[in-house]
Structure 1
């Protein structure tokens, strides 16, 4: 495997600087103490800094199987869900990971980080719904890109900033927020703020020269500030990465504070700031020719005569995510929660144009043509075409929840308001070989001649949305055992684009459209026994077009309708003395799918067809003894395209039905064993992802075989110390997990499981 280039001297560690600021607040105090006890499920003191908010969802007695289950569901559930607490994250997930590795513990979820766990961006698939077709929230706040509700897994919330995760495989109730509700929600929870002073220092060393340091500091209750308390979390990550020359670094700082005001009223504030830098091409992925020559980990190299030179390919990002949440009792029967928030994303990318060129392509100067004079002929001089890309957005909003207790139950109402401002989004062509000059970037005039548009400008665009979503759920306690909750939500979102040079068309476009929809929800939970519950759900879902629908010479934004879904689900949850079981079946009808077709030289978007999703899911944990637990979960997932046909601009369009949609595994499974006593925790687990296809219609050339990834983790605790050694992908499976079709088959790009890798961690509590 090729190594990364030498880096300049590392700046002083962020976590040490943070420690210097607040060490006086936390020195000389005992190890962690739990915030509270959720029902009778005790929280591990070692993980008490991550709090009890998610544990409180597991309404159960002191059942061993429930406490140890890495994936569990609540007896109060009204839709299929997987609760993954911090204890499970610490045992089964690499310390360097992001949320995509955490949610892989859940059935029906799949995804792989190609540069190593948390060392490069990854995407998760949920029941066949791709990223952008389900919501991700952090402390109840939906977040995602402003040009479409997709997510960057390494840009906001590393593992140390996640206290627990709840994967909701369904639209939920009307109060469950997000613009892509029909695919479900991945709900991340921040670490809780401890009532006691203390701290911890974690250091991890791993494969590919990976180094991670996490410093956590809790002030405990500060008497002079009416019992206010704060948590500081500082993380620093550096790695060469599994992929060749794909070195990365990331720094994160988080502050979360709770301020008691009076009575039940309190104010919670959170701020997190992230800085990431990684050498990667903007269109990364290796062709089979490149794999044959350089190996499955090929990404970049140190040869300036090729587009894969690491010096031509660099992505730098800066983000922040902040909120302030006020909660309290307006009256004894009326509770209020109001959250104002904002988050920011800035991406500066430098990339070579085409990383798929083979050595023979480069020798023939294919794809290396530079036009030096506007309107002139291409000059085959062997220079590398490149571009810079800038994407900046800021999103801010307000979420109001009001819960009114009434004789028959609870009325839960509120409103979500949000505004997104994107801009500039810009891309400029340049000669990567010559790079920067004293006057700026050297210009590469590869683009077609358009009056009034500089040929090196591919797009310069501003966009955004304004949305409001009032909602109401009526939680009706029909009997002590049966709760029925009808809900209603109204969605109004104005999507706007303001571009002097629009993406793809390179023509001006200034337009907007307001989309509206009323969504209906009905859930029920019936307790057959105190430890056995049945649930059912009917819900409608809604997903707007994103700004790519406007990227055409003649955008037809006004002709597009939202994508919609109708969801039917039913399941059960059982918490026994030694056995925990949850299982469900689902059926989802997805219509109005946005498709695109080329008419002449024009890309046209339109609504046609959709898909039907159906399947069964389940999870079980069995306590063989007080210290030995066996667990398994799995799913069978059908996501078949609906056949349809039409004519667009005289071009016939036929959608083949009855085939699994692209990127949707037909099954998932996980199996494992956990031994845990006062000193040791040893786990062996395996995640299986079933067959899938990388292109529509199940073409044989794009079939992706099933693959496994087995992990072994050994933890030893003594006093204030925690030692861990772990091997991930134990059996060194390096199968393809994704294929991106290219212009022709030789230029298809492949992505593989990272090789077997290891991490060793030391954590001390003080």
Structure 2
């Protein structure tokens, strides 16, 4: 308790800062609100009257204030807390209620991201009951494959092309939903074409041999046409390294968009491509165990090879295994093309259409000689997804009402291929064969395992068709009051195809090796209704009370894994119901409040029909538990420019998350236990100060990020626990020096130099721990941890033209 208590005054200070800002906003009630317009701009219903469209643009503070939803906009100033090498995951960590865990210092390694406990990401999956419940979009276009439902931060490794991020807590408006918004959504708004031509370029270098370069070029507008192209490349080692191997990673991302404006509308064409490659270190034993050494085991007998005992205590907090013992390389590729069309049909009616195609591909290459089963020495895993779709809707501005109605369809083809093998081991018959356990002898000679005759395998396809239709209204019965009722009808159609016999005909026909896909072909069809309503009432022109309620559904989680292992008759769409009540404020200018925003809300979310993956020891497949979860908590956020040269922001969250039901396949119930990997508190607070002297701007920045205690998962029992991972707080700082035009070459607008120091005090901590089932190192019951990043220093330079 002593370790936790020392942070309580800081939490009190954060809350006090928010309450002080709130009291100042209340005093500002005498400020006259700016006159609003009821006109409709091309591409969206006017933000002063219509529902907030978080997909079409980066919302302004005023638009967020007017909405009935809990929305956080992360601007470029706050995104800078990720550092120049950081990617999408690191940039999201600054928002209230969002917790991020990564296993590397750049945008290339994988990560796990949660919004109020609802998760997405492939990192740290042990016990993640709510994975795949957060929608992620790029310029409003979905990036999540519908079948697996999980998005990875390494799909957006370059933040230089992103001008802001919008996080919505809960399902949100029907207008903005896709197919897995049940826990929340995140939209990354890229840079857009501009009226005037321009360009910028930047470079960075820093700790762990991190380096990168990025650029953007804007054509300006010519006869209604304008365009932009942006991109970047980066590479880095890892702070987790040892014995000559630094677990490197590299990435690139490019984005382009062309827009044609015409009378009453516009059309645009966009494209995005990204590739990230990173070696993924193993979690490290927290304490020493004589059965785990840095030299692993004999790959054929499983006997422990003598050597130094491997653990954070003995071989170093950040030390990983030699490449000859273990390595895992993950490749992530994303290709996205899309077109958006908007046109006024009448002065009060606009038609909107979005057409898109996305291809995603994930490959794991894996060598594991740490004590796992000898027959899974090598791994190949490839998951790919093709998705195309179209979204069409109308917005109608009527007296006292703003109506949006329409829908979308999409088709998706998801392929999962996995096999393990040890080329030094003789193939054996599986447990269903009359010769179970015996060696495979063909033409009098033993046959060894290989990629074509693996020891364990699966191959399958999941075809999905998602349909949705929605209608929502924004009603203005009296001045200062808006009510937003809405309803969506969704349909999830799936067709599972077991492809193992076609991919591995010899193995399946002769029952050689373990086939992880043992369910036959099947199909499902679910139709559900999603009602929602929100209210925003302005107590004063600057302070509003708001609340909302929504129901959301997503298709059964787990893609081919679920359909390959579970009876189709037992599957149901995952469902969430959530309500929020809160107060928000926006003051453009009053006293020390300048463009100041404040938001405080209480939320309560029920998540049901969960399918919870439980990885088994030999990594051949997953077992599944069923569950229901309850999340409740408070989020507080504020930012302000109290002085012309001072910027402050603060975000604080408190959360309680428990299982109302958690039942394993063996019928054991763990209802009432806390949900794993959900911090009880998160917080961040920052201050930026500017000093201008002789044409040079100096901007020192300091910020602090805190993650409270969280419960860890027991992969040995396949159940949550009440065992705690300690809290940790990290201090960070940077100095930005910006030079004006008077000191620059002709044609340059500005140039800046930045020095960023993350984890300033070099705090040593684990950001994730779990109790092992023995899959890694062959020792069940030991605690494995993933260290957070130590002190890191970066130098970056940027110039604009």
TM-score, normalised via structure 1 length: 0.80
1:692-741 deviation per Cα after TM superposition (whole angstroms, max 9, x unaligned): 012277636x4111111221011111122111111001111221111243
Uncovered stretches (5+) of structure 2, i.e. residues with no partner: 1-34, 38-53, 121-131, 287-309, 434-439, 441-451, 502-513, 741-749, 775-779
Does the C-alpha gap of structure 1 residues 250 and 622 become closer, same or farther in structure 2, counting only changes over 3 Å?
A: closer
Q: Which residue of 1 aligns with 2:419?
A: 428
- Structure 1 residues 350-398: Cα deviation after superposition (integer angstroms, max 9, x where no partner): 10145xx2xxxxxxxx54745xxxxxxxxxxxxx821212222111111
Do the aligned partners of 1:78 and 1:172 also contact (CA within 8 Å) in 2?
Answer: no
Deviates more, 1:166-175 or 1:111-120: 111-120
Instruction: Within 5 Å, give how 1:155-174 maps onto structure 2.
Output: 155-156=155-156, 158-174=158-174
| Per-residue CA distance 1:407-448 (angstroms, 9 max, x = gap) | 22211011021111112x21233347x8xxxxxxxx873673
Write the distance in 2 (CA, Å) between the matches of 1:444 and 1:127.
49
Residues 400 and 54 (structure 1 numbering): CA distance in 2 closer, same or farther, change over 3 Å? closer
- Structure 2 CA distance for aligned equivalents of residues 39 and 291 of structure 1: 60
Aligned partner of residue 643 in structure 2, secondary structure: coil
| Residues 220-619 of structure 1 mapped to structure 2, 5 A cutoff | 220-222=220-222, 226-244=223-241, 245-260=246-261, 262-280=262-280, 284-288=282-286, 289-302=310-323, 304=324, 306=325, 308=326, 310=327, 313-353=328-368, 357=370, 366-367=371-372, 369=374, 385-423=377-415, 425-431=416-422, 445=427, 448=430, 454-456=453-455, 458-501=457-500, 505-507=516-518, 509-547=520-558, 551=562, 555-576=566-587, 577=590, 578-579=592-593, 580=596, 581-595=598-612, 605=624, 607-608=626-627, 610-619=628-637
| 2:233 pairs with 1:203 | no
Q: Any unmatched runs of 5+ in structure 1?
A: 1-37, 41-50, 60-72, 358-365, 371-383, 435-442
Rounded Cα–Cα distance in structure 2 between residues aligned with 1:386 and 1:652: 34
CA distance in 1, matches of 2:426, 2:482: 65
Give the number of equivalent residue pairs: 654
Q: Identify which of 721, 724, 730 aligns with 1:699.
A: 721
- Rounded to whole Å, the distance in 2 between the matches of 1:552 and 1:198 is 51
Asked if 2 retains the 8 angstrom alpha-carbon contact of 1:623 and 1:630, the reply is: yes
1:96 partner SS: coil
Residue 75 of structure 1: SS of its match in structure 2? Answer: helix
1:530-559 CA deviation, whole Å, 9 max, x = no partner? Answer: 222221101112232124575587631222
Distance in 1 separating the partners of 2:553 and 2:91: 26
| CA contact 1:54–1:164 (8 Å) conserved in 2 | no
1:590 positional shift? 2.4
Say if 1:738 and 1:751, in contact at 8 Å, map to a contact too: yes
**Structure 1 counterpart SS, 2:175:** coil
Change in 2 beyond 3 A, CA 1:88/1:138: same
**Which residue of structure 2 aligns with residue 735 of structure 1?**
765
Q: 2: CA distance between counterparts of 1:81 and 1:492?
A: 27
Aligned pairs (5 A) from 1:9-88: 56-59=59-62, 74-88=64-78
Q: Deviations over 1:121-179 (max 9, x none)?
A: 11112111121122112222222135421111112452123221111112111112122
Matched residue, 1:708: 729
Structure 1 Cα separation of the partners of residues 72 and 209 of structure 2: 33
The secondary structure found in structure 2 opposite 1:722 is strand
Aligned alpha-carbon RMSD (Å)? 3.1
In the alignment, the residues of structure 2 paired with residue 527 and residue 148 of structure 1 have an alpha-carbon distance, to the nearest angstrom, of 41
Equivalent-residue separation in structure 1 for 2:225 and 2:422 (angstroms): 55
List aligned pairs for 1:665-704, cutoff 5 A: 665-676=679-690, 679-695=697-713, 699=721, 702-704=723-725
Output the CA distance in 1 between the equivalents of 2:343 and 2:480. Answer: 28
Distance in 2 separating the partners of 1:629 and 1:117: 26
Q: Distance in 2 between matches of 1:141 and 1:134?
A: 14
Q: Secondary structure at the match of 1:88?
A: helix
Q: For the structure 1 residues 620 and 349, does the alpha-carbon distance in structure 2 shift closer, same or farther, using more than 3 Å as the test?
A: closer
